[in-house]
Structure 1
Amino acid sequence: MNAVPANEDGLPVHAADWSAHDGIPLMRTLASALTALDAETGLDSFTLPYPAEVQRALDRTVLACLERRAEPPTSLPDLLSWCRERPVADWPVDLPPDAVGPADLLLDPDSSRPTELCHEWAEQTRDSALVLRDREIIRAALRLCREYGEEEAYTEFRRLLVTRPVLTAAEEFAVSVDHVLDPVKELLRRIYQPVPDSYLRGDTYAVCGRCLTLLTPLLHGGGWWCERDRCRRLGPPPVGRRIQKEEAGGLLQLERPLRQFVTGPGRAEVELEARLTALGLRVRMWPAYDAYDVHITFADGWVWAVDVKDWAHPAFLGRAARPVPPEPRYDEAFWVVPRARADDRPGYVASFERNRPAAARDLLLLTDTELVARARARMKRTGTGRAQEDRDA
């Protein structure tokens, strides 16, 4: 493969040129302000004087418009309308081709909450405390489990955050007496927080049947709203379990940054685990204290290493690309994205490849469907596992 010209940071020249577009820092400023203030106050409760971060976002947007002789937003409510109704690609700002898709919005048009794409833009702001919160928690869990020498504790901690983002009082008690989780008990008490009454319809909470987070009741029509963009694109959220307030005994849920950046992507990881296990493969999750996401062993001893990336924005994913860590050892390594992500944005893999740094130019990105198909094909080719049993039947 021919080498791709790269800058001193290892990014392809065309990807590194993002810094030459003044719309990039503007999007980061906007996204950081929207996500931080949504978490603290809700986007419908801004009053004058605006917080400095919000005022800066408004000022920069107005300036960008004036420089292009375009009509700017006249106020913060007007700017929020832009974020909710006007695709970023239609804004009069200077952005590189891979920065946004034709329908990308910063706020969900129904709820006015930041979209997943907005959260990913905010994550590009290195000094944003909100988007770093999930990493701080995961690093703390890793440190505590290593100090105890308990890799299983970390694995169960991650699985808990992915599969049980909502806990009743009885479930929280069961977690509190699970000795496997002893190294992270205090951490768990801090990141599971009381659920406000805004999630109630009457005396009932509802959990999304797809992503397992709490649903928000809509004011009109009696429906429910799911905070996950990917879930909403699949249609109205299916109600999973319903929890009566009296029976909940003080319902708890993971704090928002962890739901966004751990629970959501983690669903793709455990779903892939289930599909590979169903093939008869030996699967180990988050091995060696989360060196990577999935360690897969075939019957002949061949090993795959997989990092699952549930990102809405393929260019951001490309810019974050790096080789899979070499330990635990493996024979082949891949990054994997849910097929739904690639279907949502034509050219997803190509955009990823255009933006990955030179050090990761050989990193292969597959959809989860492609990875499972490769696993089946390998099992058939080597005559191992259930593929051989099916052929012999």
Structure 2
Amino acid sequence: MPLDPPAPYATVTLLITLSTALVRADRETDLGSFRLPYDAEAQRALDRTVLACLLRGAEPPASLPELFAWCRERPLSDWPLDALPDAVGQEDRLLDPEHGRPTELCHEWATRSRDSATEARDRQVIRAALRACTEAGEEDAYTAFRRLLIERPVLTATDAFAVTSDLVLEPVKGILSTIYQEVPESYARDGFYATCGRCLTLLVPVRGGQWWCERDRCRRDGPPPIGRELPISEVGDLRQLERPLRQFVTGPGRAEVELERRLRALSLKVQMWPNFDSYDLRITFADGHVWAIDVKDWAHPYFLARAARPVPAAPPYDEAFWVVPRHRVEDRPGYLAVFARNRPGSAASLVLLTDDALVRRAHARVKEHHA
């Protein structure tokens, strides 16, 4: 008797399991060095992939290294899986084809799916910081905390001392001590570490004397420019934010502060993370009209749509928008349409714009007011 084809949820479960295994393996070991016995999550990913292949009469990967090779070399659209047209693009891979590290899409599958059994680490940290700052009645502490994670994802020993000495950050010092983690020397080459001149995160040395940046946008824009060179002999105990926070706080935060800069250039009043982060930017025009903006720097619109919800009503505003960086829309044709198709009915009125479109709309409103 032929086996029934896998249900769509089985594909979702498989991709979550596989992405989780890849992220964990990348954090704990070299993806190319797996040996028996495999990590439980990795073995589960292999088992589910083999089952999916057998159900479709396809040749499965014979080992975990072969499965990881699939993740690097084969777009997901070429896998023997049920079609998920909005969740998987034609060229989507779970591992970067050039250097074999988890893609941002892989991180989103591992942590952003509502099917995940555990709360995303970045949300846990942000909620803990919000709770600590709210209990202390220190909104400035939360704002400083967010800016620190955005603007200083890497701390030398001297940087860390300055942070621990900052009285504004007092309510979150316990959190900071856990989320900045020691950097292994595998990040160094020729006696020094290097940060990306665009996104400020640590670069990873790869073959051929090159450096690899974990951010999709940086790779899209070409070889990463070196920002800070940090000699091992001088930096002391070098620390960096843990990966979930770099992925989902530092990355989007760069887009938030860049949007802040562009809107201030229009002589608009901008408040960042008002009311303990009800939303990201509160924009006040000269006539008192207020916009509320949440910036969402997500690689895949399918996950963004599944997370869509109305912008919180307080502090009050006249119009509200979700904003995505322009490069995300350029990288994935149909981004806005996929978002519109997959958002829940409760967010049907939510407007999603690119950052460029929002700035143009703001500029037009400023001109209209001065006309």
Give the TM-score of the pair, scaled to structure 1: 0.90
Would the aligned equivalents of 1:35 and 1:118 in 2 still touch at CA under 8 Å? yes
Q: Which runs of 5+ in 2 are unaligned?
A: 1-6
Query: Are residues 1:168 and 2:117 paired?
Result: no
Would the aligned equivalents of 1:21 and 1:96 in 2 still touch at CA under 8 Å? no
Question: SS where residue 373 of structure 1 aligns?
Answer: helix
Determine the structure 2 residue equivalent to 1:22: 10
Question: SS where residue 207 of structure 2 aligns?
Answer: coil
CA change 1:141–1:206 in 2 (3 A) is same
Question: SS where residue 93 of structure 2 aligns?
Answer: coil
Which amino acid counterpart does residue 30 of structure 1 have in structure 2?
A: L
CA drift of 1:21 comes to 4.6
What are the within-5 Å matches in structure 2 for residues 243-282 of structure 1?
A: 243-282=230-269
CA drift of 1:152 comes to 0.6
Query: Are residues 1:212 and 2:167 paired?
Result: no
Q: How many positions carry a matched residue from both structures? A: 365
Query: Are residues 1:47 and 2:29 paired?
Result: no
Would the aligned equivalents of 1:29 and 1:125 in 2 still touch at CA under 8 Å? no
Determine the structure 1 residue equivalent to 2:84: 96
Would the aligned equivalents of 2:8 and 2:82 in 1 still touch at CA under 8 Å? no
Determine the structure 2 residue equivalent to 1:72: 60
What are the within-5 Å matches in structure 2 for residues 88-127 of structure 1?
A: 88-123=76-111, 124=113, 126-127=115-116
CA distance in 1, matches of 2:217, 2:181: 24
Determine the structure 1 residue equivalent to 2:275: 288
Cα distance per residue 1:336-387 (max 9 Å; x no partner):
000000000111000000000001001010000000000000000111xxxx
Question: SS where residue 95 of structure 1 aligns?
Answer: coil
Query: Are residues 1:198 and 2:198 paired?
Result: no
Query: Are residues 1:150 and 2:138 paired?
Result: yes
Cα distance per residue 1:298-344 (max 9 Å; x no partner):
11111000000011111111111100000011000000000000000
CA distance in 2, matches of 1:78, 1:37: 15
CA change 1:52–1:194 in 2 (3 A) is closer
Equivalent in 157, 164, 189 of residue 177 of structure 2: 189
What are the within-5 Å matches in structure 2 for residues 234-249 of structure 1?
A: 234-249=221-236
CA distance in 2, matches of 1:30, 1:296: 41
Would the aligned equivalents of 1:209 and 1:241 in 2 still touch at CA under 8 Å? yes
Would the aligned equivalents of 1:32 and 1:128 in 2 still touch at CA under 8 Å? no
Which deviates further from its counterpart, 237-246 or 366-375?
A: 237-246
CA change 1:125–1:81 in 2 (3 A) is farther
CA distance in 2, matches of 1:211, 1:46: 31
Determine the structure 2 residue equivalent to 1:315: 302
CA drift of 1:175 comes to 0.9
CA distance in 2, matches of 1:266, 1:45: 34
Determine the structure 1 residue equivalent to 2:214: 227
Would the aligned equivalents of 1:21 and 1:94 in 2 still touch at CA under 8 Å? no
What are the within-5 Å matches in structure 2 for residues 348-387 of structure 1?
A: 348-383=335-370
CA drift of 1:75 comes to 1.0
CA drift of 1:36 comes to 2.1
Determine the structure 1 residue equivalent to 2:3: none
Determine the structure 1 residue equivalent to 2:4: none
CA RMSD of aligned residues (A): 1.6
Question: SS where residue 362 of structure 1 aligns?
Answer: coil
Query: Are residues 1:328 and 2:315 paired?
Result: yes
Which deviates further from its counterpart, 249-258 or 358-367?
A: 249-258
Would the aligned equivalents of 2:16 and 2:116 in 1 still touch at CA under 8 Å? no
Question: SS where residue 120 of structure 2 aligns?
Answer: helix
Would the aligned equivalents of 1:32 and 1:125 in 2 still touch at CA under 8 Å? no
CA distance in 2, matches of 1:338, 1:108: 21
CA distance in 1, matches of 2:154, 2:348: 39
Query: Are residues 1:133 and 2:113 paired?
Result: no
Cα distance per residue 1:154-194 (max 9 Å; x no partner):
01001000110011111111111111101011211111122
Tell which has more relative contact order, 1 or 2 (C-alpha 8 A, sep 6+).
1
Would the aligned equivalents of 2:13 and 2:115 in 1 still touch at CA under 8 Å? no
CA drift of 1:211 comes to 0.5
